[in-house]
Amino acid sequence: MHIEVIANIGEARSDEYLNKTVIVVDVLRATSTIITALMNGCREVIPVETVIKAKECARRGDLLGGERYCKKIPGFDLGNSPIEYTREAVEGRRIILTTTNGTRGIQKAIKADHVLAGALLNGRAAAAAAIELKRDTVIVCAGTQDVFSLEDGLCAGLLLDEIASQLGEASMQTNDFGLAMRSCYHESKDRLLDTILASSNGKKMKKSGFLADVELCAQCNLFDCVPILEQDHMIPYLR
């Protein structure tokens, strides 16, 4: 199984996803939010690129969620904090979600055979799903405004580690960036929260009042839910 790790959305090329599984990673916070929402019983999450598209997709009873530059979009029901997506808030509801980076990454991956949402929260389960789907895999680190973000690279390292553990080292190959991210994860895995808080996005999240989000999103393998894109919506992958 070959796994390519891409440093940010700007480096992603949609045509290179054909016949592959893509795992989109936006630890802070889009994919962490999608995972949390589905874990808490929402019916489905529809990831869209723009605010206008989100409003066009919304039907009566839907929830609008999203952010631009860390701030909740005016008039939306929810922002992009996974802590907001409680069972009481989302159970049984359809969510239309638009974010600065993560949902754009999902939309860019639609030519793939399978599109999964990965984060530290579901790393082990996402790795298992990618193995079961039996495709070469691309891990797309969403980054921030087409610039690499450390927390996404750490998640890529976790995913590689889990795939190697489950599949066997000899059965997995990755690119040089993947090797670097796996080494970075090994170096930081016992102090992930501190490492993420020292990163650019970690500092920004803390300064903006989202320390609790970082503390949640820095936890590994907390959930078994793996969102998978079916047509235009994400639902839990059923193993």
pLDDT at 25: 98
pLDDT at 106: 96
pLDDT at 152: 98
Residues 6+ apart with CB under 8 A from 88: none
In CATH, 2-236 is 3.30.1540.10? no
pLDDT tens, position by position, 120-139: 999 999 999 999 999 999 99
pLDDT at 69: 84
Question: Which residue type does 198 have?
Answer: A
Structure token digits, residue 45: 């999450």
pLDDT at 124: 98
Whole-angstrom distance, CA of residue 123 vs CA of residue 57:
30
Query: What kind and span of H or E run contains 233?
Result: strand 233-236
From the DSSP assignment, how many helices (H) and strands (E) are in the chain?
Answer: 10, 11
pLDDT at 239: 76
Residues in the chain where the model's pLDDT stays below 70: none
pLDDT at 15: 85
Three-class DSSP category at 65:
strand
Structure token digits, residue 88: 């009481």
Domain positions in the chain: 2-236
pLDDT at 12: 86
User: How many CB atoms within 10 Å of residue 231?
Assistant: 7
Whose tokens are 């990454």? That residue is 105
